Structure 1
Amino acid sequence: MTAATESTVLPERITRFPFPFPRDVYRYSTNVEPAGTRTETAAGGWGEHPVDIDGFYVDELADRARVLAADPDRFQALPHMDIAQWDAMVTLMRMLAEAYPRTFALDRDGDVWRWSNVALDLEQAFAYGQAATLPEPPLLYIGRQIQEDVVLLDQRDGALWGDAGLVTSAADWSLRFDVGMSFLQIHGPVPRIHTEGVIGRAQSFLLGLQAGQRYRRTNWTLTVDRRLDTATETYPEWGRDRRLLAEGPLDDVGHRLHLRVEVQHLIRLGASGALMFLIRTYLLPFDEIALVPEWADRLYRVLEELPEDMADYKGITRTREPGLKWLREYGGVCP
């Protein structure tokens, strides 16, 4: 497939894709900005709502249910995070009802709350803080109804701690392994961010967030096929795909190799004081990126220039060169 002409009508999955590169060179940075405003791109725009519902909603929630059925430990919550779970659930319900009032509703009558999710045909009455009024823990209950992964960070001793979460779309990491670690420990393996002071600045910024404040940032990697679950636990299922893609025909790269973008929202909860970290994963294959010539060219420049240590950490050492070659030969990019 070659790059499209200006008259091409792009599908919504492309026009709403959060293309993450503002320049031809990528380095780790805090790169945070206030949430809830639209970011314009060469194909359209994204970012109006911190919780994003799109055409993949039902399919991605079915995928989450499948992962949880096979591995219930993708949900983790230390005992002291009960209040934060309730706080996160109600906050997410309010955000959904505000952004998509035709699909979601949250009402309250005294101590009784009523939640409605038309898309999944769900109705639930509950009493805040009373576990018996929900079919499962609060974070797990609402997590089954959003496309985002969610991690709750407790704040104590002048640091942040990843003490609860529901993560079924991890990009080669494990919530089971990370739960209970500090923010600095969780990011320990990431190259350059410690020597360049990025992680220290990030934690200082997060510690200063006030109740209700919302910020966002993006992150990215490459994934073979449209697979959300690339957690450490399932590496035997997907790890070899990178080698097989690199050794296979170049024609396959365009539809199999995906740019994987995370839109990460950081929200300070009010009642508990916890920090809610939302991670929404978007996937777009190279042959659809090539339909937006500006994206194809920018992606090529970023991949070509990316230092080896960063490419290795992102797990793209094997797939980078096939991606570059495909963009040159089929994607309309002139080096």
Structure 2
Amino acid sequence: MTVQFNPNENMHDQFHYQNSEEAIARFPFPFPEDSYMYSVNIEPASSKPNTIFEHWFDVDEHYVTEMNERRLILEKDPKRCIVMPHMRQASWDFLEMVMLHYSENYPEHFQLQRDGLNWHWINQPLNIDVHFIFGDAESLDIDPFEFISRQFQGDVALLDQRDGDLFMDAGMITGPADWSLNFDAGMSFKQWHAPVPQLAHNLGVFERALKFLLNIQVGQPYRRLNWTMTINPRMDTSSETYHLWGHERAMVTTENAGEMVHLRVELQMMPRLAISNALLFSIRTYLISLNDLCRNPAWAKRLHRVIRDLPDPIAEYKGINEYREPLVQWLSQFDQPEA
């Protein structure tokens, strides 16, 4: 797939964001059934051509937009990128993984030349052309994790594995769904998942999920989809910026729901880093307005049933309760009984 970037998008203030026909068709609709209950839903990350699952790391038409948004967010809040000192090897592991996959899968946009430890990296969409020594942070003039994360589409957490647990000890999180890296940094797996309803009091689910993640092997990544909803095509819905977007939930009506409400789907990728043994947890977020999503009649009907019947604790956790009634009313037009 040849990626055509949209250069005129904006994901804050005066929003200007649009999915092409191709982007709508490949959107990862997350509901296989007419009802939803929280589950781990992890699967092997096998390739599926012509979908978002074709490559380990999906790059699409919003790449330049999202990288510009990341730059603007970091200018205001540098703590969106945190790297603990012991994560230096994992940072280089992650840089190598991204450069190899991007250059192999999107050679028209990214090129990597290696001569021993002397590397030459070209990122054409962002006008980056740099020679550096692999393993030498001074040759980059920036931490290697931050350097490559500023070019990686999606949020990133590097999980250090020790003492039979996983710890969020490095991250670049500029587009979170109502959470904060600054708060979660250094936490264990159970600690940062504690707010999830129906899992918080079920230690067995945590223990099985953690045991599974601890045993992910190099070259055998896994993935899962997660979802929520966002008002307006706003990527940054962090806890720190709640004052900028929280009030927008009260603005949804039966007249504007299709334009304002966006389904937000995260493709969470989990590969093992070879040298450091850290686990990469990448969060690639896709946004689509309900106007665009409901052009697919099957999706529209199913989404109505999912939101209508969503258990209250999950609806509250995902922040939907405040506008759930007008949303369900708007969606009901696509799920009428046959005459």
The TM-score, its normalising length taken from structure 2, stands at 0.90
Separation in structure 1 between the aligned mates of residue 72 and residue 292 of structure 2, nearest angstrom: 27
SS of residue matched to 1:46: coil
After TM superposition, the structure 1 = structure 2 runs for residues 234-253 of structure 1, keeping only pairs within 5 Å, are 234-245=241-252, 249-253=253-257
**Which residue does the alignment assign to 2:34?**
24
**Which residue does the alignment assign to 2:9?**
none
After TM superposition, the structure 1 = structure 2 runs for residues 212-231 of structure 1, keeping only pairs within 5 Å, are 212-231=219-238
**Which residue does the alignment assign to 1:308?**
312
Q: Residue type matched to 1:82 in 2?
A: R
Residues 78-131 of structure 1: CA deviation (Å, up to 9, x unaligned): 111111111111111111111111111222112211111112221111112211
Which one is further off, 300-309 or 161-170? Answer: 300-309
**Which residue does the alignment assign to 1:13?**
23
**Which residue does the alignment assign to 2:335?**
333
Query: Is the CA contact 1:194–1:200 (under 8 Å) kept in the aligned structure 2?
Result: no
Please report how far the alpha carbon of residue 198 of structure 1 lies from its aligned counterpart in structure 2 after TM superposition: 2.5
Separation in structure 2 between the aligned mates of residue 176 and residue 129 of structure 1, nearest angstrom: 26
Query: Is the CA contact 1:221–1:314 (under 8 Å) kept in the aligned structure 2?
Result: yes
Separation in structure 2 between the aligned mates of residue 334 and residue 201 of structure 1, nearest angstrom: 41
Q: Is residue 126 of structure 1 aligned with residue 132 of structure 2?
A: yes
Separation in structure 2 between the aligned mates of residue 91 and residue 126 of structure 1, nearest angstrom: 16
Query: Is the CA contact 1:29–1:198 (under 8 Å) kept in the aligned structure 2?
Result: no
Please report how far the alpha carbon of residue 195 of structure 1 lies from its aligned counterpart in structure 2 after TM superposition: 3.6
SS of residue matched to 1:262: strand
After TM superposition, the structure 1 = structure 2 runs for residues 257-276 of structure 1, keeping only pairs within 5 Å, are 257-276=261-280
Separation in structure 2 between the aligned mates of residue 178 and residue 96 of structure 1, nearest angstrom: 28
Please report how far the alpha carbon of residue 279 of structure 1 lies from its aligned counterpart in structure 2 after TM superposition: 0.2
**Which residue does the alignment assign to 1:66?**
72
Q: Residue type matched to 2:278 in 1?
A: A
Counterpart of 2:148 (choices 134, 137, 142) is 142
Q: Is residue 75 of structure 1 aligned with residue 70 of structure 2?
A: no
**Which residue does the alignment assign to 2:119?**
113
SS of residue matched to 2:174: coil
Query: Is the CA contact 2:154–2:283 (under 8 Å) kept in the aligned structure 1?
Result: yes
SS of residue matched to 1:62: helix
**Which residue does the alignment assign to 1:283?**
287
Q: Structure 1 pair 135/334, CA: closer, same or farther in 2 (3 Å)? A: farther
Counterpart of 1:317 (choices 295, 314, 321) is 321
Q: Residue type matched to 1:35 in 2?
A: A
Counterpart of 1:38 (choices 23, 31, 48) is 48
Please report how far the alpha carbon of residue 275 of structure 1 lies from its aligned counterpart in structure 2 after TM superposition: 0.2
**Which residue does the alignment assign to 1:183?**
189
**Which residue does the alignment assign to 2:207?**
200
Query: Is the CA contact 1:28–1:198 (under 8 Å) kept in the aligned structure 2?
Result: no
Q: Residue type matched to 2:61 in 1?
A: G
Identity of aligned residues (%): 48
Give the RMSD, CA atoms, in angstroms.
1.4
Q: Residue type matched to 1:192 in 2?
A: Q
Residues 303-331 of structure 1: CA deviation (Å, up to 9, x unaligned): 111110111111111122222111123xx
**Which residue does the alignment assign to 1:158?**
164
How many residues get paired?
317
Separation in structure 2 between the aligned mates of residue 272 and residue 306 of structure 1, nearest angstrom: 41
Which one is further off, 155-164 or 101-110? Answer: 101-110
Unaligned 5+ segments in structure 1 are 1-9
Separation in structure 1 between the aligned mates of residue 30 and residue 206 of structure 2, nearest angstrom: 20
Unaligned 5+ segments in structure 2 are 1-19
Q: Residue type matched to 1:304 in 2?
A: R
Please report how far the alpha carbon of residue 199 of structure 1 lies from its aligned counterpart in structure 2 after TM superposition: 2.2
Q: Residue type matched to 2:250 in 1?
A: R
Residues 242-283 of structure 1: CA deviation (Å, up to 9, x unaligned): 0122xxx42211111000100000010001100001101111
SS of residue matched to 1:69: helix
- Identify which of structures 1 and 2 has the higher relative contact order when contacts are C-alpha pairs closer than 8 Å and 6+ apart: 1
Please report how far the alpha carbon of residue 135 of structure 1 lies from its aligned counterpart in structure 2 after TM superposition: 2.8
Separation in structure 1 between the aligned mates of residue 223 and residue 67 of structure 2, nearest angstrom: 23
Separation in structure 2 between the aligned mates of residue 303 and residue 199 of structure 1, nearest angstrom: 26
Query: Is the CA contact 2:52–2:58 (under 8 Å) kept in the aligned structure 1?
Result: no
